[in-house]
Amino acid sequence: MPALFFDCSSGISGDMTVAALLDLGVSPDAFAAELEKLGLSPEFHTHVSQQSRQMIAGTKFDVHLTFDPSSPSDHSGHAHHTHSRNEDGHSHSEPHSHADSHQHTHSDGDHSHGRSYREIRELIEASPISERVRRDSLAVFHRIAVAEGRIHGCAPEDVGFHEVGAVDSIVDIVGACICLELLGNPEIYCSHLFDGIGSIQCAHGTFPLPAPATLEILKGIPLRQIDEPMEFITPTGAALMAEFSRGFGPLPLMQIEKIGYGLGTRDTSPRPNVLRVVMGTTLTEGADPESETITEIVTNIDDTTPEIAGTFPAALLELGALDAFLTPVQMKKNRPGLQLTVLTEKSDADRIAAWILTHTSTFGVRIHDCRRMTLERKLERVATAFGDVLVKFGYLNGRCVRASPEFESFAAAARDHGVPIEQVYHAALHAGAQVRNSQGSRGPEQFTSVDT
């Protein structure tokens, strides 16, 4: 399964996440075109550059605002993390991140034209971005709004983001979701998270690290503190990992394909201010290229007629299941029944389980993952006395170990020549065996594919 592993050895923030994903190969033009759909382009522009931190080369992502954040205002309400400027004087997203001063400030009445969570949600919902990006972005923003609402004692809908923070947050969160979609929506895994020691300044005084919002967002997720006087995790970074990561721990077994580096603003010696993201394919322990993990869904049915039950496998195959079949079983109260078994891709399991619960008489299903090992397959035409017949060849570790005639093909040949199906089957089987023996250890890539 395609996957990304977020190595947060220097923490994580929204802008560093976008930078690392861009460094993995996301097209900046495609990324910018998707961001344009938000309709916020008059308020900001982005800058992507190649830099280094302590001799680690990577990508830097900046959001530059097109208005003066220092202008006075009478905005009131609950403020999100306030904005700061980096060494270059440009407005920078994730103002409270370790990429900047390692402090953030909560204040009231910072800037005009503030956006509440409700307004941000309406903005994203009204935009023509993809459904996946819309859903994921709103989920991350909701996590932040819920956390801020608990801290400030207000409803999530009323949580306010002053304009600077709102624009930066929207770009970072939506931008990260855009990048993930452009990378094919891989599974996400994350290293163990930690934060530093020290304190932050907020509206209620001095607060120790981790920041209140970060700590609230990471409820239920392992977190430790290290003896380094700086903030490593921002609320946006915490929310992205809390929403998307399937687990927190060491690098899972992966076939590594590419590594991306997202840079923060400053050098933070001795720890390089870099987010490393590893791209690859997750593997099962002891697996080989022909091995994969699939999901098996099983349920027992004793109150459906055979006529109706017989329609289930075909409907499930049409729905996208890898296989579906019925097995006679003896159930409780001595009732004869049927066991419905469905094999499916993990990503389709919930959808197919929902279909079973909706369209059959069962009240529950059993779902578990299992390892499936398959032969690599190739269809070839073989010559027989009855014309060419399709044969499926199976390969294990590059060696042909199976040759199986395709039923529809040899049945059609039998009809065309007016002979028994079995006669053509044995002719195709013999021809397939000769081809298999002649191939030896050659792989299927050396043979011409057949369109069926």
Return the higher-pLDDT residue of 292 and 319. Answer: 319
CA distance 93 to 171: 8
Cα-Cα-Cα-Cα torsion 417, 421, 422, 426, nearest 10 degrees, comes to 60
Tell me the pLDDT of the chain averaged across its residues. Answer: 83
Calculate mean pLDDT across residues 381-397.
90
Return the higher-pLDDT residue of 396 and 144. Answer: 144
Q: Which residues contact 426 (CB under 8 A, 6 or more apart)?
A: none
Per-residue confidence (pLDDT) for residue 109, from 0 to 100: 36
- Find the helix or strand (DSSP H, E) in which 321 lies: none
Sign of CA dihedral 180, 183, 189, 190: negative
CA distance 241 to 268: 22
The residue with tokens 């006087």 is 229
Q: Please check whether residue 431 is in contact with residue 384, taking contact to mean a CB–CB distance below 8 angstroms.
A: yes
Q: Is 134 helix (H, G, I), strand (E, B) or coil?
A: helix
- Find the helix or strand (DSSP H, E) in which 117 lies: helix 117-126
Per-residue confidence (pLDDT) for residue 188, from 0 to 100: 95
Domains belonging to the chain, first-starting first, are 2-282 (no CATH), 291-373 (3.30.70.1380), 376-446 (3.10.20)
**In 3D, which of 273, 272, 278, 245 has the Cα closest to residue 260?**
278
Q: Please check whether residue 236 is in contact with residue 169, taking contact to mean a CB–CB distance below 8 angstroms.
A: yes
**In 3D, which of 191, 200, 192, 269 has the Cα closest to residue 228?**
269
Q: What angle do CA 100, 138, 319 make, to 5 degrees?
A: 135
Per-residue confidence (pLDDT) for residue 155, from 0 to 100: 80
Both tokens of 247, joined, read: 């687990």
Q: Residue ranges of the alpha helices (H) in 347-406?
A: 349-359
- The predicted-structure confidence for 202-227, as pLDDT tens digits, reads as follows 666 788 999 999 999 999 899 999 99
CA distance 183 to 263: 19
Q: Strands, DSSP E only, in 333-386?
A: 336-344, 366-373, 376-384
Both tokens of 17, joined, read: 């996440």
Is residue 288 very low, low, confident or very high in pLDDT (cuts 50, 70, 90)? low
- Find the helix or strand (DSSP H, E) in which 437 lies: helix 421-439
Q: Which of 19-33, 112-126, 242-256 has the highest mean pLDDT?
A: 19-33
pTM value surpassing 0.95: no
Per-residue confidence (pLDDT) for residue 161, from 0 to 100: 62
Per-residue confidence (pLDDT) for residue 10, from 0 to 100: 92
The residue with tokens 């947050």 is 169
Per-residue confidence (pLDDT) for residue 390, from 0 to 100: 93
CA distance 422 to 274: 66
